[in-house]
Structure 1
């Protein structure tokens, strides 16, 4: 399940915004709660569990977002990042939220598709892509594939673009990435990680000024990421996937999954910022 496109994590790599999204989501899905065992199975069959695990890979980008290097935080950096982005803890958080928000109807609908032969093949390639740590190589390969499609006028590129929009619209991705960045940077500022304190108003203004560039970057990265991820999936199967993703029930599932994943990412980055302030600085890794 490609919920948060990995490009968004790489681009970074809200309490107000994300909690507002979750509040609206809960109001929209007042159906009966789903039991924990079925939710556990849901994480596995849809691949959402692996998507959550992949959030940990984005921790490597935290120092760069502050204009620093991992070596600036000494020998404790790796352990701190692994501790904060604990995969079991992130999955538990997701389960707690899903218990309160995901209806039985929506779970059944999404699980039925992803449990199908096509669904499981898609989950397999998505999981592999999520956990690929060499982002540069993946981006290079994806961009090369897109270039080849453009040269031969392949309509596959339109299907890939439709997939990226269906799972995570540009406006939602841009706002969420901005808020995750904001929460991390402000937490780092308040914790004393940065030499100079940041002004939230000025930072938001800067983000608004750069929004067009971010939108283009996310769109381009999402498309190349999709080209890489689904490189061995046929056009017919991708069209079938796109049609499944367009269904109203699946759209609601993805709205919820995106909200959950963005909130977990944002909260973990906030915690990481506080931990970074406690690390011994200047030691060699």
Structure 2
């Protein structure tokens, strides 16, 4: 029975991790962001004619349970043993819990275009000033390779979206043409990603003291902190590639139905 007990124990500890990281709450936030993005697609691709049918399709694609499970799969790949326990210990602490609350609140706040614009402007003002708080945030960004990982994820998702449109005969493009078309936007995506990350992290961590922020930056540079970031991207990357392809498929079907 000892052989069977190990994976059961590991599974239980990953369930604890999911609870500590409040991934169900994060999944709901991502679901809400998905609805906003779906409305943008409706406006830009369907001239606002999607209606309730399109809205329901988007809701199913961004199902919170699907999002949560995708996050878990990624975390299970990179966190085990000591690194797993160190992540649980940190985010079960008072500081770790506050950080999660602040991140989730900031993410919801940035859904307001006015809030996002103000946060981006604040980041731009501080970017090259040597601000002590921003220095700690930059440590986190570097430790997690957050800019490049987010850019790569965005590019891969865009490729999948375009593939769905091509597979649905909406466009006639070769694989090389798809890749070139998407890569042409890399610099723009990278600049936007850097601005958004800086704005988000500055806003989220503004209530923390410099000492608390430094403690979090220290954690982000540990093996556990790096593994946590790697785990999130290991979950998000395939998840959002699948979502992007599904959105492209849904658009093709909706456009076909309109033509009929």
Deviation at 1:115, TM superposition (A): 0.8
Q: CA deviation at 1:255?
A: 0.7
The answer on whether the counterparts of 1:138 and 1:225 sit within 8 Å (CA) in structure 2 is no
Deviation at 1:99, TM superposition (A): 4.7
Q: Secondary structure at the match of 1:281?
A: helix
Of 122, 125, 134, the residue aligned with 2:102 is: 125
Q: Give TM-score scaled by structure 2 length.
A: 0.82
Cα distance in 1, alignment partners of residues 103 and 60 from structure 2? 25
**How far apart, CA to CA, are the structure 2 residues paired with 1:103 and 1:52?**
22
Rounded Cα–Cα distance in structure 2 between residues aligned with 1:227 and 1:98: 25
Q: Give the structure 1 partner of residue 87 of structure 2.
A: 110
Q: Which residue of 1 aligns with 2:198?
A: 223
**Which residue of structure 2 lines up, in the alignment, with residue 15 of structure 1?**
none
- TM-superposed CA distance for 1:75, in Å, is 2.7
Count residues with an aligned counterpart. 249
Q: Verify: 1:214 aligned to 2:189, yes or no.
A: yes
> 8 Å contact 1:189–1:197 — kept in the other structure?
yes
CA distance in 2, matches of 1:143, 1:100: 33
The equivalent of 1:257 in structure 2 is 232
Task: Determine the structure 1 residue equivalent to 2:37.
Answer: 61
Q: Compare 49-58 and 234-243 and name the one that shifted more.
A: 49-58
Alignment equivalent of 1:161, drawn from 115, 123, 138:
138
SS in 2 for 1:277: helix
Render the CA deviation track for 1:98-149: whole Å, top value 9, x for unaligned. 4565323322111111111111110111122233462423322312432554
Unaligned runs of 5+ in 1: 1-31
1:181 maps to 2:158: yes
Q: What's 1:200 paired with?
A: 175
Deviates more, 1:166-175 or 1:253-262: 166-175
Gaps of 5+ in 2: 1-5
Please say if residues 139 and 224 of structure 1, whose CA atoms lie closer than 8 Å, have aligned partners that are also in contact: yes
- RMSD in angstroms over aligned alpha carbons? 2.8
- Which structure would you say has the larger RCO, counting Cα contacts within 8 Å and 6 or more residues apart? 1
Q: What is the SS of the residue equivalent to 1:233?
A: coil
Match of 1:275 among 216, 234, 250: 250
Task: Name 1:239's counterpart in structure 2.
Answer: 214
Q: Is the contact made by 2:20 and 2:88 (CA closer than 8 Å) also made in structure 1?
A: yes
SS of equivalent residue, structure 2 residue 19: helix
Asked if the contact 2:110–2:200 (Cα under 8 Å) also holds between the matched residues in 1, the reply is no
> What's 1:17 paired with?
none
TM-score by length of 1: 0.75
**Higher share in helix:** 2
Match of 1:74 among 33, 36, 51: 51
